[in-house]
Amino acid sequence: MKVGVESLELVYGEHRAVKNLDLTIPDGKSVVLLGESGCGKTSTMRCIAGLEAPCGGRITIGDRTVYDGARGVSVPPFRRNVGMVFQSYAVWPHMTVTDNVAFPLRMKGISRTESRRRALAVLEVVGLAHLGSRGASLLSGGQMQRVALARSMAMEPAVLLLDEPLSNLDARLRDELRVELRRIQLENGLTSLYVTHDQQEALALADSIAIMQNGRITQFGTPEDIYARPASASIARFLGVTNVFEVSAVDGHRVRLTGQELAVDELGDGDGPWHACIRPEHVRVDLTSGAESPAVNRLSGTVEVAVFQGASIRCTVRTGSGMVLEAICPPPPDGTLTAGTEVSVAIEARDIHLLPEHTTEYGEVVAA
Ligand SMILES: Nc1ncnc2c1ncn2[C@@H]1O[C@H](COP(=O)(O)OP(=O)(O)OP(=O)(O)O)[C@@H](O)[C@H]1O
Ligand SMILES: [Mg+2]
């Protein structure tokens, strides 16, 4: 079922945690709310679930208004038909794994046999069927989190709200369950809102990503869009764009920054000031400098740190003009990169994006 959030406001004491927020989750789609710690993700989700009292705005689930500040409407959580998996998992330790999942179904008036059948089916999906009769207190953190996930799925809610449900899992399980979750989402056409601060998780699980900063949505788009075209330098940094430099002057398609001039393809929208943003994957590091077209910026420099990552090397290079660039590149075929290696760096003009520090939606910048 479609979820609509309009002009939502939530205040904790003096602190405005959610500011005039608009968000739509289309029916059957997965929207991921991605943002750094404290930006208001959990607060937004709790408002949709009915666990917080907002101070304005409107929330609809399907055709039903579940919250309307102006009309004084607020449907209690248990009547909203949403399932929520919390950041900190909560299982009932005195029950078995199967009972943890089946108990809420029994509370809904579903027969013992049917509750058990549904519980076992979702436990199969999350890979815990073999632990069904074990006491829930005897599970690892990751297994408990999967019980919590299974419990929400068993209720077959109209909307599934997931707040960092994979955060307590080890890396391998997290990768596996991420793919599994996406499969479940697509096969069942679940309408879901997924909260995370992990960009890989967001890219893998979303039909659309909503970037949240400072209590607001500052960019909304497909994972491909957001990855290729972050709307501001602050969003780009958050998405792993480690090379961000203040632009001091623009002259045609050449920009000046920290003692360096670079050719760019596209100029930024608006009036600036700009930040030149370059993904580390787009910084090529060569041991020799070859002939290049004018569309490629060539800089010479020295490797400061190089870290071997298996398929790639992550290194920082200091150029002659003092610019420090981070690069993620394949190991060079004709030698090794170590601290002190003299290199030639290539950056294509089309890979340099000129962006403002924040989007206009970001709102006031509060001095620290
Ligand atoms: N019950 C509360 N009372 C007062 N302030 C709160 C309360 N809950 C959250 N906050 C504040 O509201 C802001 C948003 O919190 P929220 O939990 O929504 O962040 P988040 O984006 O989920 O962060 P994280 O990624 O760390 O979970 C934070 O500054 C937080 O300190
Ligand atoms: Mg949170």
Residues 211-257: tens digit of each pLDDT: 999 999 999 999 999 999 999 999 999 999 999 999 999 888 999 99
Q: Which of 95-109, 110-124, 134-148 has the lowest mean pLDDT?
A: 134-148
Q: What is 3-228's CATH number?
A: 3.40.50.300
The pLDDT value given to residue 89: 65
Q: Residue ranges per domain, the chain?
A: 3-228, 233-355
The CB of 275 under 6 Å from ligand 1? The reply is no
Q: Which residue CA neighbors atom 29 of ligand 1 most closely?
A: 38
Q: Which residue CA neighbors atom 31 of ligand 1 most closely?
A: 38
Q: Tell me the average pLDDT across 341-355.
A: 94
Residues 333-342: tens digit of each pLDDT: 777 889 999 9
The CB of 80 under 6 Å from ligand 1? The reply is no
The pLDDT value given to residue 22: 96
Q: 368 pLDDT exceeds 50?
A: no
The CB of 47 under 6 Å from ligand 1? The reply is no
Residues 66-92: tens digit of each pLDDT: 999 999 999 999 899 898 887 666 788
Q: 8 pLDDT exceeds 90?
A: yes
Q: Is 151 exposed, middle or buried (0-12, 13-18, 19+ CB in 10 A)?
A: buried
Q: Which residue CA neighbors atom 5 of ligand 1 most closely?
A: 12
Residues 246-293: tens digit of each pLDDT: 999 988 899 999 888 999 998 888 787 999 999 999 999 988 776 667
The CB of 88 under 6 Å from ligand 1? The reply is no
Secondary structure (3-state) at 235:
helix
The CB of 42 under 6 Å from ligand 1? The reply is yes
- Between 101 and 294, name the one with better pLDDT: 101
Q: 343 pLDDT exceeds 70?
A: yes
Q: Quote the mean pLDDT of the chain.
A: 90
Ligand nearest to the Cα of 46, by number: 1
Across the chain, how many H-helices and E-strands are there?
Answer: 8, 21
Q: What is 233-355's CATH number?
A: 2.40.50.140
Q: Is 189 exposed, middle or buried (0-12, 13-18, 19+ CB in 10 A)?
A: exposed
The CB of 15 under 6 Å from ligand 1? The reply is yes
Q: Which residue CA neighbors atom 4 of ligand 1 most closely?
A: 12
> Do the beta carbons of residue 157 and residue 81 sit within 8 Å?
yes
The CB of 282 under 6 Å from ligand 1? The reply is no
The pLDDT value given to residue 17: 95
- Closest atom of ligand 1 to CA, residue 35: 21
Ligand nearest to the Cα of 34, by number: 1
> Do the beta carbons of residue 126 and residue 98 sit within 8 Å?
no
Q: Name the residue with tokens 């203040």.
A: 246
Cα 244-246-248 angle, rounded to 5 deg: 150
Residues 294-324: tens digit of each pLDDT: 778 999 999 999 998 888 999 999 998 899 9
> Do the beta carbons of residue 98 and residue 133 sit within 8 Å?
yes
Distance 41 CA to ligand 1 centre (A): 8
What's the gap between Cα 215 and its chain centre? 15
Q: Which tokens hold the place of 233? A: 């330098």
The CB of 10 under 6 Å from ligand 1? The reply is no
The CB of 101 under 6 Å from ligand 1? The reply is no
Residues 112-141: tens digit of each pLDDT: 999 999 999 989 888 899 999 999 889 887
β 296-308/82-85 pair status: unpaired
Write 267-270 long-range contacts (CB < 8 A, 24+).
267/354, 268/353, 268/354, 268/355, 268/356, 270/356
